[in-house]
Amino acid sequence: MSTSTRVAFITGAAGQDGSFLAELLIGKGYTVYGMVRRSSNMTNLDRLTALRHNHRFHIHYGDVTDIASIMRILTLAKKDYFNTLLNVKEKGYLEVYNLAAQSHVKVSFEVPQYTANTDAIGTLNVLEAVVQLELTPHVRLYQASTSELFGSTAPPQNEESLMCPQSPYAVAKLFAHWAVKNYRDAYNMYAVSGILFNHESERRAANFVTRKITKFAAALHRGQKSVLEIGNLHALRDWGYAKDYVEAMWAMLQQDSATDFVIATGEQHTVKECIEAALEVVGIPRIEWRGTGLSETGHNAETGDLLVEVNAKYFRPTEVDSLQGDCRKATDVLKWKHTTGFKELVKIMVLHDIQELGI
């Protein structure tokens, strides 16, 4: 079937994943309806600059906490979808990607109710909007789930691993994860959750640790003298490139049956390694680490200059120490595998941040 007849609705379209996904779908010939919050700042909307004048990309204001706005935009996408069915012999589906979320784990401890309303009830609203508009037979729905669901469960984690959430964010996402399963069973809805491990990019928000690190490295390259204050240097994460991961989102909605998938690289790196990789890009090949715990510091091994220090305020009330995805199911079924390595990802981000500073 020609993808020129395909229609998609993306919540959180101005986010890191939403903007990459919109570009991917437009490139495949889709008509895309993107929902963004009225409060989205210009930095977020700038991610959509390349698509703003594309006649197949439609931005609408809405919020997943407001089911009326979801139904309004979904109704527009529905009309477009049914119009395409009049002109094709092979019938496709209206694809719904629910990416909207309050996704910062540390922030979720500060605004737990807001996080629950957005990530849990917001997902329920999207599912219920599909049902209320009688779109269940016509929709394929993707839910952005998260590796934070696994919490303290030992790695590697796969689709069958115990879920033990350690933050309000993860608890809200667990509700959403099970809501998708429930609607899949109750309404025979093609609804899947992508359990994505940490995925970063040059579009990552500045308050996330990876982007904080790469922006620090870029500032050093510009000659700005400062010290990077960081939380848990030894947290182990499975980091991939968001641009690779949206390919997996799309692939999940092209299968014969609905099932959940872990999406990951299968590799682990510490926050400390991320710092070292970023500083290597800007010509600091080796960091000398001194001390332990809250007293640990990182210094330029050649000059002795202090570059990194630990600050207790960046620790979470309950830490998740180790995440590593087992994505063999995605490799076998979706034929998906990440293409961007860890150091390459960090380099992409640092070079972008250098360019952003006008260097």
Rounded Cα distance between 298 and 233, Å, is: 10
Q: Is 49 an active-site residue? A: no
Strand partners, 94: 7, 139
Question: How open is the CA angle 169-170-175, to the nearest 5 degrees?
Answer: 100
Residues 6+ away with beta carbon under 8 Å from 59 = 13, 34, 36, 48, 52
Instruction: Choose, from 33, 97, 142, 169, the residue flagged as catalytic.
Output: 169
Query: With 0-12 CB in 10 A as exposed, 13-18 as middle and 19+ as buried, what is 292?
Result: exposed
Element containing residue 139 per DSSP (H, E): strand 139-146
Instruction: Choose, from 31, 115, 118, 146, the residue flagged as catalytic.
Output: 146
Instruction: Choose, from 23, 95, 148, 273, the residue flagged as catalytic.
Output: 148
Rounded Cα distance between 359 and 346, Å, is: 18
Q: Is 146 an active-site residue? A: yes
Q: Is 190 an active-site residue? A: no
Element containing residue 182 per DSSP (H, E): helix 168-187
Residue-wise DSSP of 316-356: -SS---B--B--HHIIIII-----S-HHHHHHHHHHHHHHH
Q: Kindly report the three-state secondary structure assignment for every residue of 300-312.
A: ECCCCCEEEEECH
Which residues are identified as catalytic?
146, 148, 169
